[in-house]
Amino acid sequence: MTADPTAGSPAGIRSLATALQQDATAIRSASSRTSAEAGSVSDADWTGAAKGSFVSTAGDVAASAERTATHVDNAVSALLAYATRIEQIQRDAAVIAAQQQHTADQLSLNAKRADKLAGSDDVTDAVQLGALAGQQAVLQTTKAALERSWDDLVSQRKAADAQAVSALGTTDVVGVIPPSTAAVNAMSGPELLAYLKGLHPEELAALAGNTAIADKLAALDDPDAVAKWWSDLGGEQGKGSYDDHSAAQDALLAAFPAAMGNLNGVAYWARDTANRTELQRQKAASDKRLADLEAAVADAVAKNLRPYDLASKLEDERQLNKQLENFASAARGSQLPNGPEWQNVRVQVVSFTAGKPPLGAISLGNLDTVDNVSYVVPGMGTTMGDSTVLQRAARNIKEVQDGITGDPSETAVVAWVNYDTPVMATVDPFEVLSNKKAEAGAERLVDDLSGFRASRGDSPVLNVVGHSYGTTTASIALSEDADLHVQSFVSLGSAGIPTSIHSADDIHAEHVYAGTGDESVAPLGRWGSRRTDPSDADFGAEPLGTGSDDVNVPGLGSSGSEKGVTVHDPLKHVDAGDPYGYLDRKTSSVFNTGVATLAPW
């Protein structure tokens, strides 16, 4: 836009308005077709669970479409009014410009005549010269008046431009205007949730890429408030499900996948959906970085250079890429058998962050619906690159549980690689002897378990299984929050419980079990760290058998020939003759763990 009163094309503006009006008509037409399709679905035609979601979503889409079309209508009205106003200004400007040109021509002509008469002594010439002087004065007055009129048109054009900008920038045209970064940062958590709750789905979708809101969402730490907010967003669908949820919930998942996928209190179907989107994006980004680095290193080597910095970055990216690929493989359920008993088991990406290190958790079983949930907390040296290994461990526990219940839909086991574990002792022997990473991991575990309770309430049974340093992490977490209502805490091959936890009672679980196999790593870790052995009788944990045929509760599907644990690893047995880890199939340890988390003795 410009202050030049003659600038612009009213015809072009009207053409744009016409095109927008056609868009509004097309939006309404598509909305009508969607509504008609939803209205034509009968119970006889469609009886599936997704029918209600389709009909509800169609209604949401129609409402959003009508709001969008109305916004376009308002833009059309603003543009047409603007075109009419500048057209009038241009007509007035043309008249004034013509008058200015005529006045300028007369002034120039009179000046030339005056120059010719100036040297004459003729009385007649003197009279004419005086008359010309009078005309010039009148013309100068006219010129000044025309300039004022032109300035007035300039002001009118500025006002018309400003009015158009204002009209096109109102909420009637653009919807809710996103708040500034400063405004978002000034919001409290409840204020942010209330703001988002007040937006329509299309307005939520328009917030995609708003890093201030994404960061604020990620920092929310009241899972109970989040759970209520999420359920309110769902309207009649409440917290929703894969097949039945609101357009507002969909819009938030699409706009902020990284934040929503890890927001405790949000339903797990939604977190799974968001995390898979973010995982795919992060893997694609890593693939590109990896290809670029490989090309850069190859180019440098071809030029006889020594690209040490590039080589280091390349190695780091390769490691990250492998970890993301392993996590993605677990997200696909790659470690599940092909048998019919696993066909309907939902694999959920419960959390995923692509930081340093990348972290995440994957559930075998639908956390929104199951009656019994067990979180498996791994130990030293476990990274996202071990996701498939931990998924096999979770699978083995769930197989025991499902063998007892006969119904895989009743239980879920979460492979929780959502904290930064100590590196292997061969790399740094002091990390695993320190409680530092266990304390940091415990905070994250409390957050996730609290999020589960906020989303599901107190009805589902909640268990925690720790292995190695994971028992240190989990014991700290459970000792710090007595409101998690954990049924069973199972400690396998413990690296030791901090001495600040004086007994099993301090762990705030109904049942605390501890078992150590015939291996030396766990005892060495306890000795080096001076942490407590939870298997000591004075600690008060119930013994969990880890030896051959060492089943705590006979029956319940026990084969009667369970293997004993002879290595510290969670999984070790592959071929005949291989030793058995704590969560290998066919071990007393995994069988007792499955029973302890399902039917504690």
Strands (E), 312-358: 347-353
Which SS3 state, helix, strand or coil, does residue 424 take? coil
Domain ranges of the chain: 10-174, 181-255, 345-598
The identity of residue 87, as a single letter, is E
Strands 411-417 and 461-467: unpaired
Nearest residue to 398 via CA among 420, 422, 374: 374
Which pLDDT score is estimated for 42? 61
* Digit-coded pLDDT (tens) for 428-438: 999 999 999 99
Which residues are paired to 353 by β-bridges? 359
Other Cβ atoms less than 10 A from the Cβ of 172: the count is 15
How far apart CA 601 and CA 596 sit, in angstroms, is 7
The identity of residue 2, as a single letter, is T
Number of H helices, E strands in the chain: 18, 8
Residues in the chain: 601
**What's the gap between Cα 333 and its chain centre?**
22
566 within 8 A of 579, measured Cβ to Cβ: yes
Which residues in the chain land under pLDDT 70?
1-3, 42-45, 47-53, 56
Whether omega before 570 lies within 30 degrees of 0, making that bond cis, reads no
The identity of residue 179, as a single letter, is P
Locus of tokens 């997704």: 50
- The structure tokens listed for 423 are 């590196």
Which of the four CATH numbers 3.30.160, 3.30.70, 2.60.120, 3.40.50 does domain 345-598 have?
A: 3.40.50
| DSSP letter, residue 562 | P
Which pLDDT score is estimated for 118? 77
Dihedral sign for Cα atoms in the order 13, 17, 23, 27: positive
Q: Could you tell me where the DSSP H helices lie in 187-267? A: 189-197, 201-205, 211-218, 223-233, 247-255, 257-260
Torsion angle of the four alpha carbons 62, 64, 69, 72, in this order, in degrees rounded to the nearest 10: -170
How far apart CA 10 and CA 16 sit, in angstroms, is 10
410 within 8 A of 600, measured Cβ to Cβ: no
Q: Output b/e per residue, 136-154; b: 16+ Cβ within 10 A.
A: beebeebbeebeebbeebb
106 within 8 A of 32, measured Cβ to Cβ: no
246 within 8 A of 60, measured Cβ to Cβ: yes
Which pLDDT score is estimated for 509? 98
How far apart CA 505 and CA 346 sit, in angstroms, is 34
Distances (CA, A) of 428 to 180, 380, 382, 433: 46, 11, 14, 10
Which pLDDT score is estimated for 544? 98
> What does residue 584 show for φ and ψ, rounded to 5 degrees?
-70, 150
How far apart CA 501 and CA 341 sit, in angstroms, is 40
Got the DSSP string for 385-409?
GGHHHHHHHHHHHHHHHHHHHS-GG
How far apart CA 216 and CA 223 sit, in angstroms, is 14
Q: Could you tell me where the DSSP H helices lie in 418-563? A: 436-456, 469-480, 521-529
